[in-house]
Chains A and B, each alone.
Chain A
């Protein structure tokens, strides 16, 4: 890996380009509150952001911090510190990035100068973990609280039935929903204790209403990607998920996703694509290489576009009755998990999955996507340090092959650019596109 091999992403939408102004404004607001010594929660994705808003909490996402460290190419510094501290390089690189950061923070009493955010991630007052998707996510906060910040931790622990159990059986539903409800109640009790505040259910309902309004625009935007030529690209997609973490429940998020929807709608109406000649329509599996998002533009330069990404695709199955906002949160999680079960996602994590957040594997959803999005190939990023998302890619490849859709699996990582081998990966990508050409010639 050399830094010159890494390229920043070019976004296609005006809306996502504007994030460069919007997000710093948000981070400055948060920073101001940090300087006022407001309690800060470090949170794992899977903790409902609406709940954080309802408690008016100051929060940070170490996973997202990992993506920022990756894109600024400072992650190797933190990861190396963690590796030298005994954390295996096989562990999730979002985790080792955090552990290295924390170690440096504790040694100097301040955020390491390489940190992408001013003041880094700050000093947490408590940790809100989540067992969604994988176990490293709660082990992570267990370790942070053991080694670096002796603060209270709550890790939510949702589960969903395995693929061969019928989630529509009322007894099964009750079995799992009871756990989800009780776990959520535990999470709220913890937050009330830490903040000294009672949860305002009316406020939570209002926040959920706004949140779901934003998600509706996001879902509808993603559906517009069925259009040929592709009106937006993966670089837009992966950047556009950030407001869902920080701004959901704010009018600002609704405005952002509405603008995005309108812009994409307009492009579809006018037949504007992101490349001049769209030759390949692909589906992306796995986490993106955050340190080299320009790889998507590289593929676009060969006429390859992604119409769908399996990861972070939280755009669907969120509509629930909001009259009881707590029941709505539990049911939203359940409903998303059940929906994926209905598709028969045999290699999905048994942990409850907020829609297809962590990516899906196998599943008859593939049949629908191939038709609806006019896909003719799949590219899968096998991330060495994240098995949660990449486990199941071989199985997905097998199922796609049955549909006549060729796929390529290439190996690297989401955070650590040292695992990126530019020439080798680009050669493989080009060879794959040539394979698609050959298949097309044979079928024409």
Chain B
């Protein structure tokens, strides 16, 4: 199997491999680099402990067979891809690994990965599924256990002062990302959805101050551009993790413009500032436990839990929604029928792309997107 199966994934080849990138990052900063998956263990804490948080991503369409020695074929193809990359030693330069208990598959990846490929530091950040006063208290206690483990590893105490400093840095970037997102609320955006995702992905590999520089550069670049001449169909992407711009590029190629999203590397991460509370761990709990809108958290029965999405659809004047579900992604697959019916009742078309984290067969996906965009 070729390393990058999808024609739209070619841009990935130009990126520096994780192994080299992490090694260079370590050399440049003199700090340990800790890889993390999912969005519940705060990277602010990793930074405050004197390490560099590094968002681990997959390579869609790349060969997953190296995972077969450890994982079953029936499982999230993203998780299998990450495990295959781990088996190929792509992440060996990392000093540590932090996995949040987000969904079942990611959580169970932790045990297998650390059993076969132990790191100098690893932590499974446990997260309840229900929003209750006691689960909130658990999450806050878990934050402190996480802090302690980081302190033990880096040898640096996390003072509230340092933590607040990091929160401010990250909040600044959140604001800048939102500024970029806002550029897409106009009729003819100056920035493409795929371009913005590329920036967010790059940011996941950078220390916060460097990401800030990148964001400011891009804002200047976009602001200097002329608005797009042709008004395109405005698309919101909802669904599983998207850590590659291939799907967005396909939408753009089909005549659509991705103006908003509801995905974890996208809006879910950047939508709100982390509240600065007297006890910073209260703010961390609000932000990462209560307010992070991943369907792995139970927000009760009924459709009111999607009100935020309807608001976003209105704010960004969305013409249609493209749903994206990775194979065996239970949290999103459970929600799809309810969301589909809700959007239908609101007159908002939705197309579901079910994918095994390869964006293949690209022609078939492209054809479906084209038909959808012609229809709306």
Residues of A with C-beta under 8 A to B340: 86
0/1 interface trace, chain B 104-130, chain A, CB 8 Å (1 if under): 110110111011000000101010111
Contact check, B333 vs A138: say whether CB atoms are below 8 A apart: no
Task: Tell me the chain A residues, 147-164 only, with Cβ under 8 Å from chain B.
Answer: 147, 150, 153, 155, 157, 159, 161-164
Residues of A with C-beta under 8 A to B330: 90-92, 135-136, 139
Selected from A88, A186, A382, A390, the residue in CB contact (under 8 A) with B333 is A88
Residues of A with C-beta under 8 A to B130: 131, 138, 155, 157
Is the C-beta of B296 less than 8 angstroms from some C-beta in chain A? yes
Most chain B beta carbons < 10 A, residue from A387, A390, A391: A391
Q: Which of B85-93, B170-178, B300-308 contacts A (4 or more CB under 8 A)?
A: B300-308
Contact check, A392 vs B331: say whether CB atoms are below 8 A apart: no
Classify chain A: how many residues form its interface, as a range: 35 or more
Q: Which of A176-184, A202-210, A216-224, A225-233 contacts B (4 or more CB under 8 A)?
A: A176-184
Give residues in A with beta carbon < 8 Å to B. 85-88, 90-92, 131, 134-136, 138-147, 150, 153, 155, 157, 159, 161-165, 172, 175, 178-179, 182-183, 186, 346-350, 362, 382-384, 387-388, 390-395, 398, 409, 411
A-B contact count (CB 8 A): 163
Q: How far is the CA of A383 from the CA of B355 in the complex (A)?
A: 20
Is the C-beta of B298 less than 8 angstroms from some C-beta in chain A? yes
**CB contact under 8 A between A147 and B338, given known A162-B110, A346-B111:** yes
Contact check, A159 vs B126: say whether CB atoms are below 8 A apart: yes
Residues of A with C-beta under 8 A to B133: 182
Contact check, B74 vs A382: say whether CB atoms are below 8 A apart: yes
Instruction: Other than A91-B330, A146-B303, A175-B138, give 6 A-B pairs with Cβ distance below 8 A.
Output: A138-B298, A139-B298, A144-B301, A159-B138, A387-B72, A395-B70
- A48 CB to nearest chain B CB (Å): 17
Q: How far is the CA of A183 from the CA of B298 in the complex (A)?
A: 15
Residues of A with C-beta under 8 A to B126: 159, 161-162, 350
Residues of A with C-beta under 8 A to B325: 88
Contact check, A347 vs B135: say whether CB atoms are below 8 A apart: no
0/1 interface trace, chain B 122-150, chain A, CB 8 Å (1 if under): 10101011101111011001100100000
How many chain B residues touch A (CB < 8 A): the figure is: 52
Selected from A146, A164, A346, A384, the residue in CB contact (under 8 A) with B301 is A146
A sample of 13 cross-chain residue pairs with beta-carbon separation below 8 angstroms, ordered by A number, consists of A91-B334, A136-B334, A138-B129, A139-B298, A147-B337, A164-B124, A178-B141, A186-B132, A347-B112, A387-B72, A390-B74, A391-B75, A395-B115
Residues of B with C-beta under 8 A to A384: 74
- A345 CB to nearest chain B CB (Å): 8
- A127 CB to nearest chain B CB (Å): 9
What residue of chain B has the Cβ atom nearest to residue A133's Cβ?
B104
Residues of B with C-beta under 8 A to A388: 104
Residues of A with C-beta under 8 A to B298: 138-139, 142, 155, 157
Task: Tell me the chain B residues, 217-275 only, with Cβ under 8 Å from chain A.
Answer: none
Contact check, A349 vs B104: say whether CB atoms are below 8 A apart: yes
What residue of chain A has the Cβ atom nearest to residue B135's Cβ?
A157
Contact check, A350 vs B107: say whether CB atoms are below 8 A apart: yes
Residues of A with C-beta under 8 A to B129: 131, 135, 138, 155, 157
Q: How far is the CA of A161 from the CA of B134 in the complex (A)?
A: 17
Contact check, A162 vs B124: say whether CB atoms are below 8 A apart: yes
Residues of A with C-beta under 8 A to B142: 175
- A181 CB to nearest chain B CB (Å): 9
0/1 interface trace, chain B 307-333, chain A, CB 8 Å (1 if under): 000000000000000000101101101
